[in-house]
Amino acid sequence: MPATRLSDLSEADLLARLFPVYAGAKGGDADVVIGPGDDAAVLAAPGGSVVLTTDTMVRSRDWRDDWSSPHEVGHKAVVQNVADIAAMGATPTGLLVALAADPATEVDWALGLAEGIAAAAREASAPVLGGDLSSAGPGTVMVAITAVGDLGGRAAVRRDGARPGDVVAVCGTLGRSGGGLQLLLADRGLPHDAPDPTPADRVVHDLCLAHRTAGRPPWEQGPVAADAGATSMIDLSDGLVRDLGRIARASGVGVELDGEALREHAAGPLTEALGADEAMRQVLSGGEEHSLVATFAPGEVPAGWHLLGRCTAGAPAVLVDGAVPEVTGWDHFRG
C-alpha cells in the first residue's frame, strides 16, 4: 500500500494526529495555563524571568535521511534547544515546534519526528506548547523549535562574566558527536540491525548515535553551575575551541586549556575508533555535543564537572598548552 503523504491530509487532519503524540510529552505542566490548540500558548513564569531560544534544522544540511530516523531528528532538535536554556542557568519549561515540509513527505515521517520530539521533551520535563505547520518546496523539510525556560529567581549566567584566574570546566562529553559524524562521512556507520556486533562495532555505533541524536547532555547541571557561582557558561554547539572563543571575546580574557586534560577526553572510544590525532581534533572542534562548559572561581567547581584549564589576562583567544590550535570548529556559512 502506498505511503500516506502530507498532501493526502488537511492541516487539521495532520494536527489531529500530532496532538496526541505531543500530549504525552508531559513535564512542567503545572505552569502551562493554555496549551496547544489556541492562537498562542500561555505559560506561567514563577521565577519572574523567561529565557527563550530557538534552533532550526534543515534536511540535508543538519541531517541526512539515509543516516537519521525521524525520531532521532526530533530528539536532536529538542536537545540543542534545551542545552541553550541550561547554559543560561535556567530550567526548560516548554517547547514550540514548527515544521515546514514538502507535501510529498510521508505522514509516518512527520509522526516519527513528533515521537522523537515528545520523547526528548519528556526527558527534559518541557511539554510541547504548540507551534506551526507550513508547506515547503520540493525535497525541503525544516524543523524549528523554540524553547522556553525559567531562571527560578537566579540571575542568568552570561558569556561575558569570566575573569582572569577563573578555572574552565566541562560537564559532559567532548568530541563524541563530531567523531560520529566523521565515521558516518567515511561510511563506517553500522545499520541499526547489524547482526552480532563486535565490541569495536558497538563503539562505532555509539559514536554515530551520539551524532544522530545529540545524546543526553547534562542539562540539569546548568542551574547547578549557576547556583555554584559560574561566572560564564556556554553549551558546545560548534566545538570547544570556537565556543570557548566566544566566552573569551565576550569576557575579554584569554583561555589556556591543558592538553593532558583534553587527551583524557580523547582517550578510550574516540581514540579506538578514530586514532589519537583525529580523536584529539574532535575533542577540540567537534560540534553538536551540547555538553556545558563554564568558568568558576577556583574551589567553586561543582561535583560532576572536570577541569580543562584556566582564564588569563591575555588576549581573548583560546590556547592549548600555550599554542594556538589548528582547528576552529563549525561555521554555518564557511563550513
| pLDDT tens for each residue of 104-122 | 999 999 999 999 999 999 9
Of the two residues 173 and 332, the one the predictor is more confident about is 173
Report the half-sphere exposure of 266 (CA within 13 A, side-chain side).
Answer: 22
Among residues 161, 133, 43, the alpha carbon closest in space to that of 92 is found at 43
Q: What is the mean pLDDT of residues 183-195?
A: 79
The residue with cell 566523521 is: 182
Of the two residues 135 and 50, the one the predictor is more confident about is 135
Which stretch of 38-52, 179-193, 221-235, 275-289 has the lowest confidence by average pLDDT?
A: 38-52
Q: Report residue 313 as a C-alpha cell.
A: 589576562
Q: How far apart are CA 49 and CA 175, in angstroms?
A: 33
Q: How far apart are CA 120 and CA 135, in angstroms?
A: 25
Q: What is the mean pLDDT of residues 22-29?
A: 62
The pLDDT of residue 334 = 54
Q: What is the mean pLDDT of residues 282-307?
A: 97
33 CB-contact burial (10 Å; exposed 0-12 / middle 13-18 / buried 19+):
exposed
Q: What are phi and psi of 154, to 5 degrees?
A: -85, 160
List all residues 6 or more positions away from 280 whose beta carbon is below 8 Å from its beta carbon: 262, 263, 266
Q: Are 208 and 183 in contact (CB under 8 A)?
A: yes
Q: Are 246 and 234 in contact (CB under 8 A)?
A: yes
Which stretch of 32-46, 56-70, 270-284 has the lowest confidence by average pLDDT?
A: 32-46
Instruction: Tell me the pLDDT band of 25, cut-offs 50, 70 and 90.
Output: low
Instruction: Tell me the pLDDT band of 78, cut-offs 50, 70 and 90.
Output: very high
Q: Report residue 25 as a C-alpha cell.
A: 510529552
The pLDDT of residue 27 = 53
Its pTM surpasses 0.85? yes
Q: What is the mean pLDDT of residues 237-255?
A: 96
- Residue 215 has a CB neighbour count (10 Å cut-off) of 21
Report the half-sphere exposure of 238 (CA within 13 A, side-chain side).
Answer: 17
The pLDDT of residue 24 = 60
Q: Are 238 and 289 in contact (CB under 8 A)?
A: no
Instruction: Tell me the pLDDT band of 2, cut-offs 50, 70 and 90.
Output: confident
Strands 128-135 and 50-58: unpaired
Q: What are phi and psi of 3, to 5 degrees?
A: -65, 145
Q: What are phi and psi of 185, to 5 degrees?
A: -65, -30
- Residue 2 has a CB neighbour count (10 Å cut-off) of 6
Q: What one-character DSSP code corresponds to residue 63?
A: B
pLDDT in tens, 34-45: 677 666 667 777
Q: What is the mean pLDDT of residues 224-249?
A: 97
Q: How far apart are CA 7 and CA 102, in angstroms?
A: 9
Among residues 83, 85, 80, the alpha carbon closest in space to that of 145 is found at 80
List all residues 6 or more positions away from 222 whose beta carbon is below 8 Å from its beta carbon: 85, 86, 87, 88, 89, 90, 91, 157, 233, 292
Q: Which helix (H) or strand (E) holds 243?
A: helix 240-251
Q: Are 43 and 94 in contact (CB under 8 A)?
A: yes
Whether the per-residue pLDDT at 332 is higher than 70: the answer is no
Q: How far apart are CA 73 and CA 214, in angstroms?
A: 9
Whether the per-residue pLDDT at 248 is higher than 60: the answer is yes
Q: What is the mean pLDDT of residues 256-280?
A: 97
